[in-house]
Structure 1
Amino acid sequence: MFRIGLTEELDEQLTWVVPAGHVLAGEVGAELSALPAPGVAGEVTVLPRPLRRPARVLLAGIGDGDEAGWRAAGAGIVRALADDDHAQVVLPPGLAEAAVRGLAEGLWLGGYRYREAATSPRSADVELVADDMSRYAGFLDLARATARATWLARDLTNTPASTKNPEWFADQVVELAAGRSGLTATVLAGADLERFGGLVAVGGGSVSPPRFVELSWTPAESQRHVALVGKGITFDTGGISIKPREAMRLMKKDMGGAAAVLGATLAAAELNLPVRVTALLPLAENAIGAAAFRPGDVIRHYDGTTTETTNSDAEGRLVLADALGYATERVAPDTIVVLATLTGANAVALGKRTAALYSEDDALAGALEAAGAAAGERMWRLPLPGDYVEYMRSDIADRHSSPTQVHSLVAALYLREFMGGVKSWAHLDMSAPSWAEDHDLELTKGATGWGARTLIRYLLSA
């Protein structure tokens, strides 16, 4: 992660960046008046200054000047810089702390590059020139922790499935938690998964056996206990109900929920947040093999209830059901938040940048919506119609996992069956926004790390 710092002194040897609409000098003001739309968020105009210092001035559009506008400006700035560039961003006097946080997040997130595929990591230095450095230091810490969590989630999701099997993913969690005060990681495998019928069934067809990971952040003092549950299918072929080639192309991203949950939990520890967090990651590869579960099989879950499944490509809800049963029996949280690349159906209504939110707790739903809006991760609350429960009726088991009707809504209703006595719960179906086909503001092509930023904002206020 390249360096962002604070300073009070301008260096004429470096590139200067000023927000469009704020005049650094009369010369820049004249240039601004000639631009057609100088304030569009994220747009950057380069003003060369031959034989003068600095040699370049960049004008960065901030839109309405809110946090999102400054985040977009940060992403635009970093893409206008070379890998080894040095630049100074001139902040207007008295700029709001949220704007500086947004700017820093945009710089770090827009500068992300998947490190395994890159020839070298970015090494640009960016200094924020402020009239009061101490005022912004804490907000830079928040931005840094948020960016680090999102980079981790992106790295894990971008990692090819040839490397990223359940054992490898679990090992990453253990390594990241090692030696960090207040963090503990537990990994279950083999015979210890006997009660995890959904996880064992989904992972049964792969040569890479499943894992179940519990990562706990336990601060010295806390008033709330939040369980974060993330779907962790390290690759999804669809199983015996095999996906077509194009639908399988990006299925290394089917653990994006687990990656975001992991990043947010590590950030809670880094920031020493006074909220207890338990992250539960059911990890499996949904492959085709002699031991793969079949359409029509009946699966017994952690809580003892049974599911009839007629579609092995509706596997995510099966592993999450076990994780939720474990959460309600062993963890007993105040609140459960599920992040899952669960269905592609919600993208038909909500598009590529918006996740579906399901919850019966208005306060929790409102808090997540506010956190997502502040973080730049959109969501839209969808209903949980009681009459749709009939679609899950099975003649041979407690429920049916994969009816053909209203996929995203019924998947959420299915997960509700495993919430036990926890009334404060929410499910975020975030398959579509977990991946970007091209650069888009602070998102870079590939995995977006969607959800990590929202969860951190939510935990900050929990």
Structure 2
Amino acid sequence: MTTTLPSQALPPQVKPSTFALSSKSPTDLAPEIIALPVIPGDDELIIGPGSADLGDRHDLLDHLEFEGATGSAGEVTSYAVSGSGALRQILLVGVGAQRRDDFRRAGAALARAVRDRSGVVTTIPAVDPDVALEPFVAGATLGSFLFHWRSEGAPWTPVETITLAELDADRGDDLARAVAIARASWRARFFASVPSNLKNPAWLADQAAELAESTGLKLTVWDEHQLEADGFGGLVGVGQGSVTPPRLIRLDYSPRKAGRLSSLKGVPTVVVIGKGITFDTGGLNIKPGDGMVNMKRDMTGGAVVLAVMSALAEIGCPVKVVGLIAAAENAISGSAMRPGDVVTHYGGRTSEVTNTDAEGRLVLADAMAYAADKLKPAAVVDIATLTGAVRVALGQTLAGYYADDEGLATLLEEASEVSGERLWRLPLVADYEEKLASKVADADNAPGGPGSITAALFLHHFTGGVPWAHLDVGCGDAYADVHDLTPGPTGFGARVLLTWLAEQDPLAGVGA
């Protein structure tokens, strides 16, 4: 029985900055704020593009020396400008060794320095547009991310417009792609940040419907009755204790113009699957209070899938993509799933539930089995805040991933390097398979350590032999402003998946 909860309404949220291109020099645009790149040289600092027109009037190098600047990535030195013109401030932003990470950090640092301003003109990407443009846009966008539910409004707002000077108009497509990827990551962070007194499986389905309408995606949603009728026992079991029933959300994307794919004939399908646990109490194996505080973001995988699907057309993804979000609330009630229960997944495989807090793999298993059976994909990638074990192993700055196909593993590794969302490959160790054994079912859902590996091995049984990768996102939370992260859910995964799916052939070498 579905229960209607009291209605909630979010206050207006801040919007990400907009970006503009200009071939002009910064001074020709008469801005209030100019941001110039600072490059460490062998003997002294070098101020990059746009400095020539300012050097006669402002001794910027002396100012950098006085302030002890080093030019390290993300270092910001402010120079006040007086006079009758429009210019009031010059920001000198270090770009370090001019790697992608350095430009991402420079963009984030600049964004923080110009909060609440109407605009800034910068030449930072002009240092090396091929390398700098996309990471700079990502850093400048995400360094300004903010979610709030304050009665007095947002404490600050991102700068309204960032103009990228000394860049030709032919960079327009590159900028559009960069903005699409950055805003998808913003969207993933937003969905993961929404509190669970508003966010539940039905709410997620509503968000998917809005995205589908605005982007031309096809939407299919299974409610709790359809899930039970179609045999999605993992989703039904995990969601049965909540007053807000589970949902399986499917979004379909088809490219407007299929690209030339070197490895496969026709237009193949990729499936991306996200864990959508809108709140995780742990179930009857209840979490401690401190461990429950951030569990509104246990649907980060689902948030990432929503965000990825929303941006596929903008990045020109050349393959068909189906996004599946297995959404449920893992709650406590008289009808909650119990330790010792057995669930029957889509397709018939059974799992003994020895720990109700190992629920994510139960809902993912249903979606994976459905994908293998009905969608005949060329590759499946799932993403989830699945285990605490991966966070113990890898910390808060990178995610673990598993793959049973070397081609897919390589593509994701390369996308990780480009996107800045770092992945570390972990092994699918067959020796641990025996830990999955159950006396009453096909597998035990909580076979113990090594926890991330045994979770991946549990999921591997539901791939149907399709090339598969699993992203175990332990870095689901950020606790301070660090580079392109702001405090709160990280939305990790949108950039790496979109970088992969934007390739000319996202399936090159897969299944070879």
TM-score tier, shorter chain, comes to: over 0.9
| 1:180 to 2:212 alignment | no
Which residue of 2 is the match for residue 192 of structure 1? Answer: 226
Q: Against the structure 1 CA distance between its residues 225 and 50, is the aligned structure 2 distance closer, same or farther, given a 3 Å change threshold? A: same
| 1:339 to 2:398 alignment | no
Which residue of 1 is the match for residue 470 of structure 2? Answer: 427
| Stretches of structure 2 lacking an aligned partner (at least 5 in a row) | 1-15, 40-45, 259-266, 507-512
2:60 corresponds to which of 9, 28, 31: 28
Which letter does structure 2 place at the counterpart of 1:168?
Answer: W
Which residue of 2 is the match for residue 145 of structure 1? Answer: 180
Which residue of 1 is the match for residue 439 of structure 2? Answer: 395
Deviations 1:36-63 (A, max 9, x none): 3432111111111233652211011111
1:114 corresponds to which of 141, 147, 156: 147
| 1:4 to 2:39 alignment | no
2:34 corresponds to which of 10, 13, 16: 16
Q: Deviation of residue 192 (structure 1)?
A: 0.9
| 1:86 to 2:119 alignment | yes
Q: Does the 8 A contact of 1:62 with 1:73 survive in 2? A: yes
Q: Does the 8 A contact of 2:481 with 2:487 survive in 1? A: yes
In structure 1, distance between residues paired with 2:232 and 2:379: 22
1:62 corresponds to which of 95, 100, 104: 95
Q: Against the structure 1 CA distance between its residues 148 and 82, is the aligned structure 2 distance closer, same or farther, given a 3 Å change threshold? A: closer
TM-score, normalised relative to structure 1: 0.95
| 1:352 to 2:396 alignment | yes
2:138 corresponds to which of 105, 121, 126: 105
TM-score, normalised relative to structure 2: 0.86
* Range 283-292 or range 90-99, more displaced: 90-99
In structure 2, distance between residues paired with 1:179 and 1:31: 49
Q: Against the structure 1 CA distance between its residues 418 and 93, is the aligned structure 2 distance closer, same or farther, given a 3 Å change threshold? A: closer
What secondary structure does 1:397 align onto?
Answer: coil
Q: Deviation of residue 20 (structure 1)?
A: 0.9
Q: Against the structure 1 CA distance between its residues 92 and 242, is the aligned structure 2 distance closer, same or farther, given a 3 Å change threshold? A: closer
Q: Does the 8 A contact of 2:448 with 2:454 survive in 1? A: no
Which letter does structure 1 place at the counterpart of 2:38?
Answer: A
Alignment RMSD, CA only?
1.7
| 1:270 to 2:303 alignment | no
What secondary structure does 1:345 align onto?
Answer: helix
**Number of matched residues?**
459
Deviations 1:258-317 (A, max 9, x none): 101110111112333211110010100000011111101111000101111110000000
Deviations 1:345-380 (A, max 9, x none): 011121101111111211211111111121111111
Deviations 1:166-206 (A, max 9, x none): 0011111011111533x101000132102110000000000
In structure 1, distance between residues paired with 2:376 and 2:291: 37
Instruction: State the percentage of identical aligned residues.
Output: 41
In structure 2, distance between residues paired with 1:94 and 1:283: 44
1:255 corresponds to which of 271, 295, 299: 299
Deviations 1:215-267 (A, max 9, x none): 11012444331100000000000000000000111000100011011101111
| 1:447 to 2:465 alignment | no
Runs of 4+ off more than 4 Å: 91-94, 115-118
Deviations 1:400-440 (A, max 9, x none): 11012211100000000000121x1100000x212101111
Which letter does structure 2 place at the counterpart of 1:46?
Answer: S
Q: Does the 8 A contact of 2:224 with 2:236 survive in 1? A: no
Q: Does the 8 A contact of 1:2 with 1:122 survive in 2? A: no
Q: Against the structure 1 CA distance between its residues 250 and 152, is the aligned structure 2 distance closer, same or farther, given a 3 Å change threshold? A: same
In structure 2, distance between residues paired with 1:377 and 1:13: 33
Which residue of 2 is the match for residue 136 of structure 1? Answer: 171
* Range 25-34 or range 69-78, more displaced: 25-34
Q: Against the structure 1 CA distance between its residues 60 and 291, is the aligned structure 2 distance closer, same or farther, given a 3 Å change threshold? A: same
What secondary structure does 1:307 align onto?
Answer: strand
What secondary structure does 1:187 align onto?
Answer: strand
Q: Does the 8 A contact of 2:232 with 2:366 survive in 1? A: yes
Q: Against the structure 1 CA distance between its residues 126 and 175, is the aligned structure 2 distance closer, same or farther, given a 3 Å change threshold? A: closer
1:377 corresponds to which of 383, 400, 421: 421
Q: Deviation of residue 13 (structure 1)?
A: 4.3
Q: Deviation of residue 140 (structure 1)?
A: 1.3
